[in-house]
Amino acid sequence: MPTISSKGKKMPESPIRKLVPYAENAKKRGIELYHLNIGQPDIKTPEVALNAIKNNTINVLAYSRSEGSEVYREKIANYYKKNNIHVTSNDIIVTTGGSEALLFAMGTIADAGDEIIIPEPFYANYNGFSTASGVTIVPVISKIEDNFALPPIEAFEKLISPKTKAILICNPGNPTGYLYSKEEIEKLAKIVKKHDLFLIADEVYREFVYDDAKHYSVLNGFGLEDNAIIIDSVSKRYSMCGARIGCLVSKNKEVIATAMKFAQARLSPPTFAQIASEAALDTPQSYFDEVITEYKERRDTLIAALSTIEGVKIASPKGAFYCVVELPIDNADNFAQWMLEEFSLNNKTVMVAPAAGFYSTKGIGTKQIRIAYVLNKKDLIEAVQILKEALKAYQQSH
């Protein structure tokens, strides 16, 4: 019998998707589901992007350049300039989603057994990318009581070893919704420069910040030209998750030259999707104003509704479209499954993502769930009402 790699066996299951069979069964039983579990926005993709595909007259769907089309990268550089990030097209490699940019970044900077420090809870697929790259994630715990602010810098210092290659942050955070302040980025800049580490910043939710807060990119003038690597994506920015386009950005020429070899090995990012993504850069500001207002209202609606449930702890999110909530129960995994298997209110139930899968340290976050506020306000209110009743019923029966 041929055997599977130990790396393959170690690849983690997605915590977001593992409840899917229970959800499918619930649907088969005729139960309607509110999906609070997954970051698939219901927002319309900008017309300009869709039209660029519809009106296209391409005869041969050819490969593009490995680093992405020149015109597209020029336009991305221009987008960054508007965000006070001064890069040229030479500092950008277009990737198949932010996902591939993360893989390229890890492949570029770390060998098997090297370590990357990440504040937890973190985007669960970092586990998958690091396993695939043979990299060890060293978690540093951020706390729900602090809204998941940056842990004290001493906590990072303690974890730095000769194997440490980078600190990875997600800003604004998935699953936390936390937005790092200028001071927090300054602290990170200081520590990575002191220890000659890379600072990988996953900024795919850059536009999604609320309450007039300001997003600080690691390339917003912190002197991190040698250290910073930005991970970016069109998936959430333009509600184009299926386009599969992202990019890796760095002013460090060696990083770009090395990532470029990974890019060459997979030939090119998707051609049609680059056309759509290039056009998406002409999306009018009014689109973003509407989308951000909508998410802000959803966040406020969600927090207000959750606050009526006794015993919950809510991390107040300032960005992205996620929120971590601690429930007055022992095990959110069991509860999430129970809601799908045994509970319904007026023939409806709710699917949430248990948050333990967003932690790397075993045994923490077990009472927490992540809610993605990607539903309209009316549905959000109803979904939280169902969650509230489910909690009551669960507490009585367990």
Ligand X SMILES: Cc1ncc(COP(=O)(O)O)c(C=O)c1O
Pick from 235, 239, 252, 301 the residue near ligand X by CB under 6 A. 235
39 is a site residue for ligand X (CB under 6 A): yes
Pick from 37, 127, 233, 344 the residue near ligand X by CB under 6 A. 233
Give the residue among 247, 243, 234, 249 at the shortest CA–CA distance from 270: 243
Which 112-131 residues touch ligand X, going by CB under 6 A? Answer: 123
C-alpha dihedral, 162 to 167 to 168 to 172, nearest 10°: 170
How far apart CA 371 and CA 147 sit, in angstroms, is 15
Minimum Å gap between C-beta 173 and ligand X is: 8
Minimum Å gap between C-beta 202 and ligand X is: 5
Q: Which is nearer to ligand X, 64 or 235 (CB)?
A: 235
How far apart CA 381 and CA 398 sit, in angstroms, is 26
How many residues touch ligand X under the rule CB under 6 A: the total is 13
How far apart CA 243 and CA 258 sit, in angstroms, is 25
Preceding amide of 121 cis, omega within 30 = yes
How far apart CA 37 and CA 34 sit, in angstroms, is 9
Give the residue among 76, 79, 52 at the shortest CA–CA distance from 275: 52
Minimum Å gap between C-beta 174 and ligand X is: 4
Q: Which is nearer to ligand X, 131 or 395 (CB)?
A: 131
Pick from 26, 124, 204, 302 the residue near ligand X by CB under 6 A. 204
How far apart CA 364 and CA 245 sit, in angstroms, is 33
Give the residue among 94, 191, 106 at the shortest CA–CA distance from 140: 191
Pick from 153, 241, 345, 381 the residue near ligand X by CB under 6 A. 241
Minimum Å gap between C-beta 232 and ligand X is: 8
Which 305-324 residues touch ligand X, going by CB under 6 A? Answer: none
Decide: 327 and 365 in contact? Cβ < 8 Å. no
Q: Which is nearer to ligand X, 39 or 151 (CB)?
A: 39
Minimum Å gap between C-beta 158 and ligand X is: 25
Query: Looking at beta carbons, which residue is closest to ligand X?
Result: 97
Which 168-187 residues touch ligand X, going by CB under 6 A? Answer: 170, 174
Q: Which is nearer to ligand X, 39 or 319 (CB)?
A: 39
Q: Which stretch binds ligand X (CB under 6 A): 1-9, 92-100, 184-192, 261-269?
A: 92-100
87 is a site residue for ligand X (CB under 6 A): no
Burial of 70 (0-12, 13-18, 19+ CB in 10 A): exposed
Give the residue among 118, 123, 98 at the shortest CA–CA distance from 16: 123
> Can you tell me whether residue 307 is helix, strand or coil?
coil
| DSSP state letter for 177 | -
Pick from 15, 41, 177, 246 the residue near ligand X by CB under 6 A. 246
97 is a site residue for ligand X (CB under 6 A): yes
Decide: 279 and 239 in contact? Cβ < 8 Å. no
Q: Which is nearer to ligand X, 139 or 391 (CB)?
A: 139
Residues that bind ligand X (CB under 6 A): 39, 97-99, 123, 170, 174, 202, 204, 233, 235, 241, 246
